[in-house]
Structure 1
Amino acid sequence: MAIGRAASPDPPNGSPAALPGLEQPLLHAHGALQKRKEPAAGDHEAQCSPEPDDGATFVWTCFNGLNALSGVGLLSIPYALSEGGWLSLALLLVVAAVCFYTGLLLQRCMSASPAVRGYPDIGALAFGRNGRLAASVFLYAELYLVAIGFLILEGDNLDKLFPGTSLSLGGLVVSGKQLFVVLVAAVILPTTWLRSLGVLAYVSASGVLASIVVVFCVLWAAVVDGIGFQGKGRVLNVSGLPTALGLYTFCYCGHAIFPTVCNSMKEKKKFSRVLVICFVACTLNYGSMAILGYLMYGDDVKSQVTLNLPEGKISSKLAIYTTLINPFSKYALMVTPLAIAVEERLLPAGNQRSVSILTRTLIVLSTVIIALAVPFFGHLMALVGSLLSVMASMLLPCIFYLKIFGVAHCGKAEVALIATIIVLGSLVAATGTYSSLKRIVQEF
């Protein structure tokens, strides 16, 4: 997907951007930002509007969609099942179906205007400046917290691979997960200084293969390495359902880049088929991992199933090493949209490289501080899923769709379905956010 110079037209309501750089946050992150002459100050649409040359094929778009839905949520899915019990698997299917439907709603919203290039544009089409701002804020907050989750994930798994590692600097001794979080951030930091992330976008595509490899490694550990399926588990745990729902929703939080993926297609009308393939494949992968992990470890499964795997086994090492690939390749993709928004706010002309590097360094430093202060991967991901992913994947698509097309345009059955999703999504967001925050506070 290439990015053209021509500025995209203003939204139909004529609303300008709420903040510079908020127009297309995910386009910067996913790719294909090419080196070009700097636009004039204020010409932010020109910086962000994609204009595909020929467009991606159906197969390549499916791969992009799978990569959007496949992520670190795979590691926490057994823990989510342990929180909700076996019957909560039905909720995984419900969440998948709802998120698939809201993905279709986003596609319909995009078809309403050629000016729509990304998620914030849909918000602008529906509610003008405020809609763009709301969509952008939720997307940036989600990306920022996911980046923090990456650091926690890396620290946990590296500590399992190299237990007891410590480093002494003068009178200060740093060890264990804290040490690895700092070291990983130091290694990742230079990648965030890149203005063009085309290479990183291709590297991040390995996430699809990595997700399959991790499931295979867990299966290998159970069948070949002798762990077996000893965990009985619970049928239903009502108190853990909010956490389970938050984590299930986090697994399907690819809506932020669905508009970008759709725009990259040669035949955009086939995007609904892409969604079917992506959601079915990812649900099978998530469901397999959830069942495997819970059967193996029962209620003793940890927030990352890789932390349960036996040390010294080839399958365990391969699973952990594979798990470590995604955060290294995708961290920069997560924080760059936020960095660009800040830079364009501070430097409209975007011509001070030193300030750009300083801004990105400070953002990385802030994620390190939070990762060290809140080292609870499962709880953090549940919070992201409950608060931010529910908003971006369930509530906002429904609200934007009703506002753009009007209740009269939709049939009574569809309005009833959308209203049900909004009510249930609001309930999940409220209960899940409260439960996640409560658990994080209790861990301190």
Structure 2
Amino acid sequence: MSSTEHQPPDPPARPTTLGRGSYAETLRVADLLRKETIGGMLLVAAAVVAIVWANSPFAGSYVALRDLEVGYEPWHLRLSLGAWASDGLLAIFFFMVGLELKREVMIGDLRRWDRAVVPVAAAVGGVVVPALVYVAVNQGSPDALVGWAVPTATDIAFAVAVLAIIGSHLPPALRIFLLTLAVVDDLIAILIIALVYSSGIEPQMLLWALLPLAAYALLARRRRLIFRSGQLPAWLLLLPVGAVFWALVHASGIHATIAGVVLGFAVPARLRPEAGEPDGPDDHGLAEIFEHRLRPLSAGLAVPVFAFFSAGVTVGGWDGLTTALASTVTLGIVAGLVVGKIVGITGTTYLVTRLTRSELDPSLRWIDVVGVSALGGIGFTVSLLVAELSFGAGTELGDHAKVGIFLASLVAALLGAAVLTARNRHYAQLAEADSVDLDADGIPDAYQ
């Protein structure tokens, strides 16, 4: 009898936390990072222009432009330009979020629970802990407590842009983690906006909204039948139907950005073949097509214009800045976004790893997770929206909240960039010393 027969079997491999994901997902995220870089730069540029203009001798013209009302009164569509940006243009951004969520859940890595549990749990921790930090700082101030949701958001465009600039050699698993974390974070922010900041609901308008929504969903799923000739682009029918649904949701009292998410969910992620037609590998649904074509509109126009109209806070000189920095609203937002996000995201990820008895992916270290968690503290776009919903535009507490958002986002970006830049150099050295083997199909062996 050979000695090998008495050797105990190898212990089963422990599950991996933050694995590299599928190769297709890695390629998609890498492409997304490249596209979001320009959008993030435009976002920052628009915010800087607004801040400088709002604190210049021409501040009155900025306020007049932001408060200029256009539109028609029926369906409550007589809005200021600032409101059109937050209710209308930002709906395009949330439409993209809806498309991204639909795609991830249906055909992406989120359809697998073992890959979804960590980023979903981390996103929840990254929402709960910052909110608790803010409440702790503002305990005893009812007027300030209404802004508890401001530090819960993560700006996907800003955070992804920072990662794209400094993280060229970071492991793909880390990039996928940040993107998935930010998307789930946006979903939680959407639920908060819908449940907390919707008031004066008119059920009749919501019932009427079901009609264009049903028509929209039907048209989206019958795209091949309706547009078989190729003469009529899909958006030509879907856009007016979606616009009617948005208007009815806006008139119902629910924040209109929710309409964008719902429309995104209604778009199929995979195109089912018609009767008698084969199901080919390139048979993508409208979700991927819309995501590809509308992302430049969202990142290059909708979000920067919203940031321009929302970021223009009048500080009031050095005295005003000192007052804002001493406000518990400002301090609570900074502490929530900078400290709360790191503790919430990293701590929850560590806790889930221990509870599931898994191990961090061998390509990563916990300092990498800390760096990504710091980038999660960039709460620019959605935080500005929640601040306006909480305190109102142009109010003193609203201005303090925006100062806190700017300061926290800057600190979080610098802190995350500092950590991940050092880690990026480390992974660049490893890449030089250990080349990646490719098979004849061009796919790295690690993904096979």
Would you say same fold, with TM above 0.5? no
TM-score (norm 2): 0.30
TM-score (norm 1): 0.30
